[in-house]
């Protein structure tokens, strides 16, 4: 019986987390390792959510990689990624050297207590300066191998494939020395690295550290439970089970658990009673200036946004999924705008937003969302009094007149206004003249058609939206 137990304990695939400063080449490095082209598909060249994949070496050894986003706003997700991993690969661009996020990543690696490999990327560039990088790392207390320490330092050109095999060999050697083991007979121990929803329902990405996760299993986190309806490997292929060291996507939860949650099998009798519904994300309520309804494509992104929002922002609602009519009503009743990150906006929701005068802004790059928020805070919390759509443009005495139809609220002469296109601001203007036909008018309400002259004269287009606003 003792020998059988030993057979079930084996050197499992090491779980490797890739950390580093934004744009230092993490995704390109993983592309070279996976022989895929993920980088070109990612908006702005920045990885947007935690993912996991596996690579098989020439010797047949398997390595599991976690790719955690590099931008500072994903600090929470990066930290959790490091805690899941057995080995860390710290990516630093040879030409740039150590940056703030590099030091932040070092902190997470030290806190996790896992071995590290330093990878100097872009080493083929003429501007590469590996000696500068070595010196910076030494000053930070990193003892590199060539300086008598035990931290490997590998120069890599991901685009040319240089150093890739050396990196894989080093990871394999380090995992063997560290004796990273998995026990298929152990109770299930897995960690959630991402959550989201699609047409199949709630989907979670996780990595198994011990035990086996199979279709039909009843599993739990500290806040929710589920029966596993389906498992997909990192390539999207449906499988019956996943073993220690393997990543996978799991169907079965009614609502997304929090990223970073541990997952275990309910057959374990020591498990404490749990609730069947996940805890809502905590939102701080202070004297914020800007009210916001947040939508995101997955829970990890949503939490990263919430963790890094300015104190000048009051979050009315924060949920995962597409923007729907309920979100519009919440925004309308609370006087909020909607910020959506990689969330779709349905036709009915879009039409309702126009009717109710609710502004929706959609983002695919995380730092653009925060830059936009900073601008709104700087400009003050503007109140939208009314909206109109430009339906015609015609000249008048060397000026352009915007023929409009009021779609919500009230718009008046001398109002300050914003012109927007595809939910993005084109410019700030003042309504200097209003006419209905040839008659001068002072204001209009929803449903009325009218013409306006704006100052300054922007290059507005048919379809643009004119929003009358009042600053605090």
Q: Is the pLDDT of residue 394 over 50?
A: yes
pLDDT in tens, 51-71: 788 888 888 889 999 876 544
Q: Could you check whether 7-181 and 290-379 share the same CATH topology?
A: yes
Q: Is the pLDDT of residue 235 over 70?
A: yes
Residue 37 is encoded by which pair of tokens?
């082209």
**What confidence category does residue 311 fall into, taking pLDDT thresholds of 50, 70 and 90?**
confident
Q: Is the pLDDT of residue 452 over 90?
A: yes
The predicted structure's pLDDT at residue 117: 95
| CATH superfamily of this structure's domain 7-181 | P-loop containing nucleotide triphosphate hydrolases (3.40.50.300)
pLDDT in tens, 331-358: 887 778 899 998 998 888 888 888 778 8
| CATH superfamily of this structure's domain 184-265 | Translation factors (2.40.30.10)
Residue 467 is encoded by which pair of tokens?
């929003």
Q: Is the pLDDT of residue 90 over 80?
A: yes
Does residue 221 contact residue 67 with C-beta atoms inside 8 Å? Answer: no
The predicted structure's pLDDT at residue 104: 83
Exposed, middle or buried by CB within 10 Å (0-12, 13-18, 19+), for 205?
Answer: buried
Range in 133-137, 203-207, 273-277, 422-426 with the lowest mean pLDDT: 273-277
Pick the CATH number of 383-470 from 2.40.30.10, 2.40.50.180, 3.30.9.10, 3.20.20.70: 2.40.30.10
Q: How far apart are CA 239 and CA 389, in angstroms?
A: 51
Gyration radius of the chain over CA positions: 27
pLDDT in tens, 28-48: 888 888 774 354 445 555 545
The predicted structure's pLDDT at residue 99: 86
b/e map 149-168, b = 16+ CB within 10 Å: eebbbbbbbbeeeebbeebb
Q: Is the pLDDT of residue 195 over 80?
A: yes
Output phi, psi for 306, to 5 deg: -60, -40
Q: Mean pLDDT across the chain, nearest whole number?
A: 82
The structural domains of the chain, with segments of one domain joined by +, span 7-181, 184-265, 290-379, 383-470
Helix, strand or coil for residue 291? Answer: strand
Give, rounded to a whole angstrom, the gap between the first and last alpha carbons of the chain. Answer: 76
State how beta strands 87-93 and 15-20 pair.
Answer: parallel
CA-closest candidate to residue 99, choices 26, 24, 21, 27: 21
What count of residues does the chain have?
Answer: 472
Q: How far apart are CA 272 and CA 162, in angstroms?
A: 50
CATH of domain 290-379: 3.40.50.10050
Helix, strand or coil for residue 73? Answer: helix
């Amino acid at each position: 019986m003792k020998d059988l137990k030993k057979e079930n304990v084996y050197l499992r695939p090491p779980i490797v987390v890739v950390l580093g400063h934004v744009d230092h080449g993490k995704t390109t490095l993983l592309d070279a390792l996976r022989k895929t082209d993920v980088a070109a598909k990612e908006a702005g060249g920045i990885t947007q959510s935690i993912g996991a994949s596996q690579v098989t070496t020439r010797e047949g050894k398997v390595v599991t990689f976690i790719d955690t986003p590099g931008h500072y706003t994903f600090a929470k997700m990066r930290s959790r990624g490091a805690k899941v991993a057995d080995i860390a690969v710290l990516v630093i661009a040879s030409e740039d050297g150590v940056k703030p996020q590099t030091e932040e990543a070092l902190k997470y690696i030290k806190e996790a207590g896992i071995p590290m490999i330093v990878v100097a990327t872009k080493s083929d560039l003429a501007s590469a300066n590996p000696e500068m990088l070595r010196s910076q790392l030494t000053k930070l207390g990193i003892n590199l191998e060539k300086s008598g320490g035990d931290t490997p330092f590998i120069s890599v050109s991901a685009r040319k494939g240089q150093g890739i095999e050396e990196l894989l060999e080093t990871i394999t050697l380090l995992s063997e020395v560290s004796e990273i083991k998995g026990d298929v007979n152990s109770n299930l121990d897995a960690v959630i690295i991402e959550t989201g929803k699609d047409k199949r329902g709630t989907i979670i990405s996780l990595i198994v550290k011990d035990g086996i996760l199979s279709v039909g299993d009843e599993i739990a986190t500290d806040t929710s439970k589920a029966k596993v309806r389906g498992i997909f490997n990192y390539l999207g292929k449906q499988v019956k089970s996943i073993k220690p060291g393997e990543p996978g996507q799991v169907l079965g939860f009614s609502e997304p658990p929090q990223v970073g949650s541990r997952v275990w099998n309910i057959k374990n009798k020591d498990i404490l009673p749990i609730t069947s519904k996940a805890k809502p994300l905590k939102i701080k309520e202070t004297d914020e200036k800007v009210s916001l309804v947040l939508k995101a494509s997955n829970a990890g992104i949503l939490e990263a946004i919430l963790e890094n929002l300015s104190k000048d922002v009051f979050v009315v609602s924060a949920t995962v999924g597409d923007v729907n009519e309920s979100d519009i009503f919440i925004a309308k009743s609370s006087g909020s705008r909607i910020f959506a990150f990689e969330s779709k906006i349905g036709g009915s929701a879009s039409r309702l937003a126009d009717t109710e005068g609710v502004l929706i802004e959609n983002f695919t790059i995380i730092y653009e969302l925060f830059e936009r928020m900073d601008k709104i805070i700087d400009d003050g919390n503007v109140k939208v009094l009314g909206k109109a759509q430009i339906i015609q443009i015609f000249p008048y005495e060397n000026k352009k007149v915007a023929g409009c139809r009021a779609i919500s609220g009230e718009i008046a002469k001398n109002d300050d206004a914003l012109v927007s296109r595809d939910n993005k601001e084109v410019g700030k203007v003042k309504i200097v003249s209003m006419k209905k036909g040839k008659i001068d008018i002072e204001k209009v309400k929803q449903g009325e058609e009218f013409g306006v002259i704006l100052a300054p004269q922007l290059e507005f287009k048919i379809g643009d939206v004119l929003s009358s606003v009042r600053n605090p």
